[in-house]
Amino acid sequence: MILSKLSESWEKMKRADITLDEIYNLILNTATREWERKQLLKCKLEIENGTDKEQALGELEYRLRPLAVRNNLTPDIADFYAKLSGEKQDIESFDLTKHFEDDGPDIERAIFAGGCFWCMVEPFETRPGIIAVISGYTGGQSENPTYDEVSRGTSGHVEAVEIIYENKVISYQVLVELYWQLIDPTDDSGQINDRGANYQPIIFVRDEEQKKIANASKEKLKQSRKFTKPIVVPIRKVEKFWPAENYHQDFYKKNRVRYRRIENSRKQYLAYLKLKGWLKRKFNKK
């Protein structure tokens, strides 16, 4: 009983250090997600309207807790939550070292956009020869875009993955062939349940060799007549790639249940499209 009261007193002391200015700065932080901003704003208004500060902060901690335990808060909010809860949070940061390193003689990169990047990581990352798969944004005008900006369509970027690989183990040709299996190449307005320009499928090529391989693979897909509609995925010159926030990296590892639900939905839809194409080819032959 005594230990419980001491622990409760310690949490109150930690929360007493939290100021309205600190909450306000997080509300204004462009990296704060809209849902997180709403929770902070609600807490701030409650305190300003006379609610006991300890009670308001306690309720805020309760609302943030489900995302905190799944490492799904944005970095600044994760740090704030650690202070709010009075406990050291084990928020693992994604290692972006490989993104900034110079590539060796046998190391290459590929960038693909194919709808939500949550479902574009595991299929590549689990292949031999893959060094890293990084979720991020590319193809737009603004610098250092945030998830909210990209989602609102104000930055011009699309969600994409940067794949760093050993070309002696896995080829760019194999990566492109795998890419076609993950997307609906007939949809240039999004992918499956993800709608909007920020989810447009695009192949970004780094040099003439990648461009040649991508174009040949696209033509091969057209000739296969696997889909009932035209193949509309553009092939564009690579642009600066901006790594996404920590909570988006390795999403399939951090949120297994949610990821599998989204992944299964995509697989079912793509299987349906392929079945339609197969039926069309079969009846056309008859």
- Examine the residue annotation and report whether 116 is marked as an active-site residue of this protein: yes
- How far is it, in rounded angstroms, from Cα 265 to Cα 226? 20
* From 40, 78, 116, 119, active-site residue: 116
| Cα-based angle 268, 269, 272 (whole degrees, multiple of 5) | 90
Which sequence positions are flagged as catalytic? 116
